[in-house]
Chain A
Amino acid sequence: MNNKHVLKPGTYYLQGAQACLEGAIAAGCRVYGGYPITPASEIMEHAAQRIPQVGGRFIQMEDEIASACVLLGASWAGKKAMTATSSPGFSLMQEAISYGIMSETPLVIVDVQRPGPGQGYVTTSQEDVMQARWGHHGEGSTISLAPASVQEMYEFTIEAFNLSEQWRTPVLIMTEETVAHMRERLVVPPIEEIQIIPRKKPQDLGIPPEDYLPWGHDIVAPMANWGEGYNVNHIGLVHLEDGNITQYDLEMHDRCVKRLQAKIEGNVDKIAKVETRYIETCKHLVICYGSVSRTAIEAVMEARESRGLDIGFLRLKTLWPFPEDKLREIIESVDTIFVPEMNLGMMKHPITEALRDRCKKVVSIPSLGSLHTPEYILSKIHEEIR
């Protein structure tokens, strides 16, 4: 692998889109398939320039369906692969995401969210956060991350590849135009400080082809790449651990799909992360994610310092699997929970479900097409708490 052109340790001033792609390269991404769409095209343009420099292959496909499918083939053939799109393109990728969940294929998709429905507009949004979890047909959970800075575009993309390889599943980076187009400082750490989690392979576990179960052995099966003599048939139908579908019965169906769900939802504590501030014995709480957390923390600090409000801050770094137990662990009892989001109240729902008996009220603070100002969030807090 050609590592000469991987971004060297140091301090850079970069756009979020570029930081995302540099994180992908650092994580080992060597195949990129894309299709242009505003406001995600900068990631693809940066990939077109950078991926061949590190010995990888970049291709602009005929549509987003094809871009997502490139990742399936590339992953099976043994390379880490990524695409980036924006909301309408994300809709087209749901088919491949669903197939990726069933076939347990590591891949990374970045959604630079723009407002909808339809073409909506080309500004910023968090309107796809439910689609990230429920957009694909059928059962099966996704892992979705929500970066809030250029630094996190780099770090979360590395994390996304690690999670996808570790759990053998598509990982979605649910970012926003705000963060993708933001320019700020990026600190690239020394290479030895970047943790890269490789794919678990049957060869490493001493499993020969004749004993290999492509969807067995453990809750996350070891994965053989194409070309290594393991005769894997990737499959989208419910299957036995060896990939056989001729022995179909309801028990096998149950076992296949419930394991897909359990490997993600049963390991939320290992996957999902939150950030908290001023959380000890706070009376009120703001829960947010992505770029909204940048203005929400300003509002919280202002409310505490100038107005003496006892209000805490919680940021979801991971949207899905939803860290319900973690939230219930952190929050024992509060009065009002404010949820500022760049949609009409989406993550408010799992938050309300998780904390139904831990608060008196959950207040949505929506914004369509633009980031909330700290003043706006503050005004909404004061409308509730006088």
Chain B
Amino acid sequence: MKKHPMLKYLKETGPQGDRLPLIMCPGCGSGQVLNAILHAVDRLIEEDGIRKENFVFITGVGCSARLTSHYLNFDSGWTIHGRTLAIATGALLANPDLRIIVITGDGDTGAIGGNHFIHACRRNLDLTIVCLNNGLYGMTGGQVAPTTIPGVATTTTPYGNTEEEFDLCRLAEASGATFTARWTTAHPHQTMRTVMKGVRKKGAAFIEVLSQCPVHKKASPTDMLKALKKNTKRIKSGETAPGDKIPIGEFCNIDKPEWIQSYQRVIDQFAETD
């Protein structure tokens, strides 16, 4: 049987037993996003000559982490809920040659890690942040998230969500990220190309991918993918989507000083000249 081309980047097995199969639920979007990310990395290794050893994946806690870190045949960290970007900051400070891809979720980024998120964007650290947004807490049983649309019933909003939701891309942009984009699991090629751009961007790149959770939404994955196509509208920077559509595309791509480069000028003042 022909193997999936991206299996070369997964730990199928190890000294103490198999890791695969992945434990994701049937119809989950996480695998599609991971596939797009790995294809992007594969091309970056090929086209840009980035050493595979220099790619590091950092995840937090939740479906976005559980379904990725443990299987990746890369240096990685399956870390603390919400703390991915603080940990990534430390890794980048220690070794700026690392190409760090943070795979996070909407709860990980928008709730418990909100403070770290806005500050990583503000510092414009050279990180690629891919946020899988399924609009709820999947791993813990489908609770409301800061990205849940008002009115939606979840296990902790049984009478409907009475809060407004975050637009994570606008939050990232307002906080200082120099590259922001949003795609969905129905846009795998666009996601792949945008992840490549994000890694190439010298600065904080935030890429949100709307993903389906058919288990907790009690819907069919194909219907959900169709809805992701139908309910979104591709826009360019400066444009707005019609009121009933979620804007997708690449929103912001600007140049600003990146932290490591700015701090290097401080270090260089003391560099040995003799």
Contact = CB atoms under 8 A, between A and B. Distances in A.
Query: Which of A65, A232, A237 lies at the interface centre, i.e. has the most chain B CB atoms within 10 A of its CB?
Result: A65
Contacts of A245: 70
Q: Pick the 6 closest A-B CB pairs, nearest first.
A: A73-B90, A70-B90, A69-B86, A73-B91, A77-B94, A79-B94
Contact of B90 (A31, A230, A243, A247): A31
Pick the most buried of B69, B72, B77, B263: most chain A CB atoms within 10 A of its CB.
Answer: B77
A59 interface: yes
A73 B94 contact: yes
A81 B87 CA distance: 12
Q: Which of A5, A56, A66, A236 has the most CB of B within 10 A?
A: A66
A73 B88 contact: yes
B153 interface: no
A134 B16 CA distance: 32
Contact of A62 (B95, B97, B116, B272): B116
Nearest to A5: B270
B91 A74 contact: yes
Interface stretch (B28-36, B53-61, B142-150): B53-61
A10 interface: no
Interface string A154-184: 0000000000000000000000000000000
Contact of B98 (A52, A75, A226): A226
B53 A244 contact: no
> Which of B19, B89, B119 gathers most chain A CB within 10 Å?
B89
Contacts of A77: 56, 90-92, 94-95, 98
A99 B92 CA distance: 19
A138 interface: no
Interface residues of B, number: 47
Contacts of B87: 69-70, 72-73
B92 A73 contact: yes
22 contacts: A2-B271, A4-B272, A52-B269, A61-B89, A63-B115, A65-B83, A69-B79, A70-B87, A73-B89, A74-B91, A75-B90, A76-B91, A78-B94, A78-B95, A81-B94, A95-B80, A96-B83, A226-B56, A229-B53, A233-B72, A235-B78, A237-B78
A31 B11 CA distance: 31
B266 A52 contact: yes
Contacts of A59: 89, 93
A53 interface: yes
A5 B267 CA distance: 12
A2 B119 contact: no
A231 interface: yes
B93 A31 contact: yes
Interface in A236-288: 236-237, 240-247
A234 B115 CA distance: 23
Interface residues of A, number: 57
A61 B270 contact: no
Nearest to A245: B70
Contacts, number: 176
Contacts of A242: 14-16
B69 A227 contact: no
A299 interface: no
A337 interface: no
B135 to A, nearest CB: 26
Interface string A215-237: 00000000001111111111111
A62 B98 contact: no
Which one of A33, A73, A229 has the highest number of Cβ atoms from chain B below 10 Å of its Cβ? A73
What DSSP secondary structure best describes chain B's contact surface?
mixed
B115 A72 contact: no
B271 A55 contact: yes
Contacts of B190: none
B239 interface: no
Contacts of A57: 93-94, 263, 267
A213 interface: yes
Given A211-B15, A233-B78, A55 B267 contact: yes
A98 to B, nearest CB: 9
A53 B263 CA distance: 12
B93 A246 contact: no
Given A78-B94, A234-B77, A242-B15, A69 B83 contact: yes
A73 B77 contact: yes
Which of B17, B75, B79, B83 has the most chain A CB within a 10 Å cutoff?
A: B75
Interface in B84-124: 86-95, 97-98, 115-116, 119
Given A73-B77, A96-B83, A227-B75, A246 B89 contact: no
Given A59-B93, A75-B90, 4 more contacts: A65-B86, A76-B94, A227-B95, A228-B53
Interface in B131-158: none
A109 interface: no
A71 interface: yes
Nearest to A100: B80
A247 B270 contact: no
Given A70-B93, A72-B90, A96 B76 contact: no
